[in-house]
Amino acid sequence: MKNHARTMLSIVMSLALLLWWVFILAAPASANPKLSELERKIADLSLLEEQLAHRITQIQGIRGALIEQRNMLTSEVNLLVKNHQIKSLQQAQEQMRVRNNIELLRTVLTYGDELDAKILFYQNGRERLAYLSRLAEDDMRMISALNDLKIDALTTQISLIVNRYLPEAHAIQIDPQRVTLLSAQQVWDRIARQN
């Protein structure tokens, strides 16, 4: 009888211990505020990555229009250079139509370069966000082994990256005060390289 009671007690204790582990491992994220914060950061990363992808698509459309404008202006300059037998920038500046096209090309090429830089910036941001998202998701899978310090370090890293790209996620930001137009000589050199 005592053996039966001990066996039953042992089974009950094993079941209690098993249930305790199940509840601990299956505890909701809200039980750990660090985990909840990490989940919010993952959601932020996903949203920001999506917004940057949208900005890249938007820039590519603008960039396409600028390329069309550039091609049209460059073709006209090349035609005028050929027809008027222009050999230098100085001669080109004497022809009003060529001079005006070069001035327009200064703006088109400068903003095209700025948009190219933005695309690289956004692509780099998306890669960083994707990396951090994968890292955070991996850490979430191993949450029982994570300590709060590691979660803090990861959420800090995520915050730094999010803060770097978040202002750009809502609108393409190119400050005209900061942009310096290409010189007429630089435009002339680019046109000459295309020939």
Concatenated DSSP letters for the chain?
Answer: -HHHHHHHHHHHHHHHHHHHHHHHHT--GGG-HHHHHHHHHHHHHHHHHHHHHHHHHHHHHHHHHHHHHHHHHHHHHHHHHHHTT--SHHHHHHSHHHHHHHHHHHHHHHHHHHHHHHHHHHHHHHHHHHHHHHHHHHHHHTTTT--HHHHHHHHHHHHHHHHHHHHHHHS----TTT--PPPHHHHHHHHHHH-
Q: Which residues of 154-192 are buried (b: 16+ CB within 10 A; e: fewer)?
A: bbeebeebbeebbebbeeeeeeeeeeebbebeebbeebe
Considering its fold, how many domains does the chain have in total?
2
**Could you tell me if 14 and 41 lie in one domain?**
no
Q: What is the pLDDT of residues 109-137, one digit of tens each?
A: 999 999 999 999 999 999 998 998 888 88
pLDDT digits (tens, 9 = 90+) for 48-64: 899 999 999 999 999 99
Quote the CA–CA distance of 167 and 65 in Å, as a whole number: 25
What is the residue-level pLDDT of the chain in tens, covering all 195 positions? Answer: 555 555 444 444 444 444 444 444 444 444 577 778 888 888 888 888 999 999 999 999 999 999 999 999 999 999 999 999 999 999 999 999 999 999 999 999 999 999 999 999 999 999 998 998 888 888 777 765 556 677 778 788 888 888 888 888 777 888 888 889 889 999 999 888 887
If asked whether residues 22 and 89 sit together in one domain, one would say no
Q: Name the residue range of residue 140's domain.
A: 32-194
One domain, residues 41 and 5: no
134 and 41 together in one domain: yes
Q: Is the pTM of this model over 0.75?
A: no
Pair 161, 67 in one domain: yes
